[in-house]
Amino acid sequence: MKKYSSYLIVGLSVVALAFSTGSFIKVNAATEQTVAGQPVDLTYASQKALPAVVHIKYVQNSKVQTVEVQSDPFSDFFSDPFGFFGNPQGNGGKQKRKIQTPKREATGSGVIISTDGYIVTNNHVVNGADELTVTLNDNREFNARIIGTDPTTDLALIKVDGKNLPTLPIGDSDKLKVGEWVIAVGNPFGLNNTVTAGIVSAKARGLGGQSDGPNISSFIQTDAAINPGNSGGALVNSQGELVGINAMLYSPTGSYTGYGFAIPTTIMNKVVEDLKKYGTVQRAVLGITGGDVLNYINQQKEAGKEVDLGTNEGVYVDKVEDGSAASAAGLEKGDVIVSIDGKNISKMAECQEIMSSKRPGDKVTLTWLHNKKKQTKTVTVKNAQGNTNVVKIADLDVLGSKVIPVSNELKKQLDISYGLQVKDVKSGAFKDAGISDGFIILTANDQQMKEISDLQKAVKEASTSKNPVLFITGIWPSGKTDYKAVRVGE
C-alpha cells in the first residue's frame, strides 16, 4: 500500500509492503505431511487463497494544512503592515502559512476473514485514508470503512457491506515449521492476484522497535517473493489456511532480493478480536526489561566477564517494574524466564508473541531461574498503566447508521460549505438521540465534520473521555438547525 518509510537493519532496508506479492505450490488437501523427497503441489492452497485476497485502493484527498516557516531575518528592521513581503509586522522568527497538500493514491492488499465483509490488512495500507476501495478477485468493488487500527502490530481491520463473501480459513501459525512450504498472495506492483511460493525461513524473528516501523518482534520469515503492494496480503500454508499477514520485506534495493516478513495469526487473531469488541487493542505486560540470554552472555564475554545463568536460552531480566506482574511473581534482576504457561521460551521474541495474546486481568504461569534454581508462580498481568481496566473505543458502528458527505446540491440549497448526512438509521446511539435519516451533522464536540474520518476521530475521542457524549450541531433538510447529545460510551 502506500509507501512505508524504509529503515535500515544491519545495512539492509526493511520496507513495509505498500504493495505485496505471492507464490504457490500444494500438498493434497487431506494430507498435512509431505512425502520426503517428493515435489509439493500448491495449487490447492492457491485456489483457496485467491478469492479471499483483495486489492485495496487508498485515496487521501487534497487538504489545506497550516505549517510554520522561517520568516525573513531582515523583517525585524522594517515594518510591513500590508504583508507585501509575506511576513507580519516586524516579528521575524517563524510564521504560519497555509499550504495545499496534493491528492495521494496508493494500493495494497487485504484478506477477507468473514463472509459479512471483515478484512484484515496492514495499518500502513489504510492509515490516513479518506477513501478506501476494495476490489475482489471477481472484480466486484466495495467502499470500505476502517473499524480499527493498531500501529504497534501494523494491523488494521476494515469492513465492506457484503454477504456470502469468500473467506480464507485461519490456521495456527504456532504449528508452522521452519522449512515448510508457504505461498504469499497479493497485488505487487499493481499486478493483481499474484501468487509466489517459498518456505518458512525462520519463526519469531525480531525486527521491532524501529522508530518508523511496527514494534512487533515475532515475525514469520519467508523467502516467498514479497514486494511493494503485497502489504496486507496473505501468507498461506499448503493446506490453504491463513497463517500470516504479509507486512515487510528485507532488501538492499527496496524490492525483493532477500526475505519477507509476515505477522503471525496468533497475533492477528487477538488484535482483530480486540478491535471488533473494544475498538482498540488490550495489551498486557509483564513489567520487565531485558533481552535474549545468549545476547547478554555474549555482551559479558566482550567485556571480559564470564557468567553462568544455568542456561543459554530464555529471557534475561535486567529490570523489574514496581507493581507489575513480574514484581508480584518475585522476579529480580538477573533472573531468566524460561517458560510461560508451560511453553518453553528461548528468546525475547517468543515471550512477546505469547504476551501479545494476553489481556489485562488474564492469569499467566511464569517459570524462571533464580540463581540457577527453577521457580514457578501464577500471576495476573496488567496493562502499561499498572491496572486491569479495559479500554473501549467506539467506532461508527455504535451510531447505528451510515454517514456520507453532504452533496454539492444540498450544500447550495442550505447555504452550507460542509457536513455529513445521516442515512439508514437503525438501532443505536443516533436513534436513541432522536437523529433520523437526512440529518446533517455540522459539528461534533466543536469540531467541524467535513470528512467521515472527522466523525470517526470524534467518536473515538469521546468514547475514551470521562463524559462519553458527542454534542452535535446540525441541520435538517428543511433548514431547521438542531442540537443533539449522542452517548457513545457507557
What pLDDT, on the 0 to 100 scale, is given for residue 85? 43
How sure is the predictor about 27, in pLDDT bands with cuts at 50, 70 and 90? very low
pLDDT at 8 over 60: no
Give the number of other CB atoms < 10 A from CB of residue 103.
Answer: 11
Say how far residue 248 (Cα) sits from the centre of its chain: 13
pLDDT at 75 over 60: no
Give residues with Cβ within 8 angstroms of 58, minimum separation 6.
1, 2, 104, 105, 106, 107, 108, 125, 126, 129, 131, 132
pLDDT at 56 over 70: yes
Q: Are 288 and 295 in contact (CB under 8 A)?
A: no
Please name the amino acid found at residue 477: P
Strand pairing class (373-380; 64-70): unpaired
3 state SS for 138-151: CCCEEEEEEEEEEC
**C-alpha atoms less than 13 angstroms from C-alpha of 262 in its C-beta half-sphere:** 41
Q: Which CATH number fits domain 1-63+101-281: 3.50.50.60, 2.60.120.380, 2.40.10.120, 3.30.56.10?
A: 2.40.10.120
Calculate what percentage of the chain has a pLDDT beyond 90: 47
pTM score, whole prediction: 0.70
Give the residue-averaged pLDDT of 159-170.
94
Q: Which CATH number does 396-487 carry?
A: 2.30.42.10
Report the DSSP beta bridge partners of residue 251. 13
Q: What is the pLDDT of residues 448-479, one digit of tens each?
A: 999 888 898 899 888 878 888 999 999 998 88
What pLDDT, on the 0 to 100 scale, is given for residue 408? 84
Q: Give the residue, 465 or 88, on which the prediction is more confident.
A: 465
Q: Which segment of 36-45, 105-114, 303-312 scores lowest on mean pLDDT?
A: 36-45
How sure is the predictor about 35, in pLDDT bands with cuts at 50, 70 and 90? low
What DSSP character marks residue 283?
A: -
What φ, ψ does residue 246 adopt, rounded to 5°? -60, 135
Q: Report helix, strand and coil shares of the chain as percent, to nearest 5.
A: 20, 35, 45
pLDDT at 37 over 80: no
Give the residue-averaged pLDDT of 12-25.
39
CA-nearest of 100, 99, 96, 125 to 110 is 125
- Domains of the chain: which residue ranges? 1-63+101-281, 64-100, 288-380, 396-487
What pLDDT, on the 0 to 100 scale, is given for residue 446? 92
Give the residue-averaged pLDDT of 53-60.
92
What pLDDT, on the 0 to 100 scale, is given for residue 120? 97
Give the residue-averaged pLDDT of 61-82.
55
What pLDDT, on the 0 to 100 scale, is given for residue 68? 63
Assigned superfamily of 288-380:
PDZ domain (2.30.42.10)
- Active site members: 124, 154, 231
Alpha helix stretches (DSSP H) within 233-281:
265-277
CA-nearest of 320, 404, 326 to 366 is 326
pLDDT at 170 over 80: yes
3 state SS for 14-77: EEECCCCCCECCCCCCCCCCCCCCCCCCCHHHHHHHHHHEEEEEEEECCCEEEEEEECCHHHHH
How sure is the predictor about 9, in pLDDT bands with cuts at 50, 70 and 90? very low
What DSSP character marks residue 121?
A: E
Q: What is the pLDDT of residues 317-374, one digit of tens each?
A: 999 998 899 999 999 999 999 999 999 999 888 898 889 889 999 999 999 999 999 9
Record the cell numbers describing residue 293, joined without a space: 540470554
Q: What is the pLDDT of residues 379-427, one digit of tens each?
A: 999 887 788 877 766 667 788 888 888 888 889 889 999 999 998 888 8
Backbone Cα Rg of the chain: 26
Q: What CA–CA distance (Å, rounded) separates 388 from 150?
A: 20
Q: Are 23 and 225 in contact (CB under 8 A)?
A: yes
What pLDDT, on the 0 to 100 scale, is given for residue 207? 63
Q: Hey, is 376 helix, strand or coil?
A: strand
Calculate what percentage of the chain has a pLDDT beyond 70: 79
Q: Hey, is 103 helix, strand or coil?
A: coil
Q: What is the pLDDT of residues 174-221, one digit of tens each?
A: 999 999 999 999 988 878 889 999 999 988 877 654 434 445 568 899
Fold: same for 1-63+101-281 and 288-380:
no
Q: Are 420 and 439 in contact (CB under 8 A)?
A: no
Q: What CA–CA distance (Å, rounded) separates 128 from 58?
A: 9
Give the residue-averaged pLDDT of 10-27.
38
